[in-house]
Amino acid sequence: MLQLTVVIRPEGWDEEKEEFIEPEIRTLQLEHSLVSLSRWESKWHTSFLAKKELTVEETIDYIKCMTLTKGVCPDIYSYITNRHINIVQDYISDSMTATTFGKSSTGTRNRDIITSEIIYYWMIRFGIPFECQKWHLNRLLTLIRVCNVKSQPVKKKSLGEIMRNNAALNAERRKQLNTKG
């Protein structure tokens, strides 16, 4: 979860009363999740993940969709600055996991447009509970990818691959044991 602090009124000085004016600050709790993605796509009728760059209006609207804080005055979003947007974009791009993947053996990427419905389908296909729709989206997508990798049949090695692996192991052992054969 990301907490975004928005300044509605900065600290100042009231000349008439000759006193300091306290700043007015609001904190928004945001979550980049499948739920927020779904809300945004239902309004904009386009894939959030397929868009290269969002307009300012689309970005602010996505921040609205990410907001978990209850009873937020809609005017608060007019005080969001570029700094806030950068913080949100950094949060969205964070993997939120330690899981990494090696390079694909095929070297090709799927060019399908991914929408919230596709992600929900993957969740159903792999039996992922719907509570996970509230996770950070990148973490959910990583779980889906892990499920996909683990559900693939084990790829059998060719005879040539087995022979190369064995030759490399033998060479390594000869080096460690200082022997010739």
Q: How far is CA 174 from CA 161, 163, 178, in A?
A: 20, 16, 6
Can you name the residues that pair with 67 across neighbouring β-strands? 30
Q: How far is CA 84 from CA 59, 90, 168, in A?
A: 11, 10, 53
pLDDT in 10s for each residue of the chain, 181 residues: 999 999 987 778 778 888 888 888 999 999 999 999 999 999 999 999 987 889 999 999 999 999 999 999 999 999 999 999 999 999 999 989 888 877 665 555 566 788 999 999 999 999 999 999 999 999 999 999 999 999 988 888 888 888 999 999 998 888 888 887 6
State residue 110's pLDDT score: 63
Task: State both tokens at 12.
Answer: 């100042």
> What is the residue range of 101's domain?
1-181
Burial class (CB in 10 A: 0-12, 13-18, 19+), 18: exposed
State residue 106's pLDDT score: 53
- Cα separation, 140 vs 135, in Å, equals 6
Q: How many domains does the chain have?
A: 1
pTM score above 0.85: no
